[in-house]
Amino acid sequence: MTSTEQQPIGSPFSAASTAQDVTAGLDLSGRNAVVTGGYSGLGLETTRALVGAGARVVVPARRPEVARAALDGVGGDVEVVAMDLADLGTVRAAAAHIRETLPTIDLLFATAGVMATPERRVGPGWESQFAANHFGHFALTCELYPLLAAGDGARVVVYSSAGHDITDIRRHDPHFRTGYDKWQAYGQAKTANVLFAVHLDALGRGDGVRAFALHPGAIITGLQRDMTLQEQVERGWVDEDGKVIGKGFKTPPQGAATGLWAATSPLLADRGGLYLEDCEVARVYDPESPESGGVRAYAVDPEAAARLWEVSVAATGAAPIGR
């Protein structure tokens, strides 16, 4: 069972490590990366570090012009492609463009996301956080899978959150038909992100495609855009002026470090389907010592991951992948 492999492996990095620390000395010349949301917050830090190491980066973006402006000055080989994760038509169009442009994909970062949004319905009435955070990335990855399989040991890095501890997948009502709760919806989407990585890794390892999910840490970025200042004050994240005061908060370069470690660390060769935090493999959450964090057992359950995959295929019409 995957959870038995959820043990620290002696990473040289820590919660304090930055994207620059992780990528120092790395040569990613000739490597192709796709970073959703790679123009703001942790995505921008990720793009900057990848370009600095010589990689070619494609950034699917809901707001292409904003993305191009944000990436101006990053340098290197960066292309912006229009895509809205909540609109599968645009996801397929972006994937088709990428398939025509790149021969292989070495690194795919599912970084973009939304958090605690007001109730919104997209597609055929899907709850929008589940749709954008999970279905959109699921469909994109399936569409791009042939390029991942054609790579030499491709890795997929899925951004989850400690928020996955809010709830397991609500199989009885995943789209909140019986009443909406924005934090339950966020938690479910983040659990889906972990389960997605678990089963993608199981399907892809025969093609050399490995997948990881992660908690980047607590970071104030544009992810909080749907929360009021007062909500963030009440949670102890910021003061009345919006200044970060919460304990344990990371800077954006520190927040991007775990994803880059997942994508590049030789320690993770021949591993996958794991949940990471603070540039290390996380332990499974222990109710006896809740302060130690870790991943909830339900989020790394292979059977639950397989069930969610079937639901996601049926919802998105994605093609089968793997051997």
Nearest 5 degrees, angle CA 153-CA 46-CA 245?
A: 135
25 contacts: CB under 8 Å, gap ≥ 6:
none
Contacts within 8 Å (CB) and 24+ apart, 83-87: 83/36, 83/140, 84/136, 85/36, 85/112, 85/131, 85/132, 85/133, 85/135, 85/136, 85/137, 85/140, 86/122, 86/123, 86/128, 86/131, 86/132, 86/136, 87/122, 87/123
Q: Which of 186, 275, 285, 298 is catalytic?
A: 186
Quick check: is 275 catalytic? no
Burial class (CB in 10 A: 0-12, 13-18, 19+), 1: exposed
Catalytic positions are 186
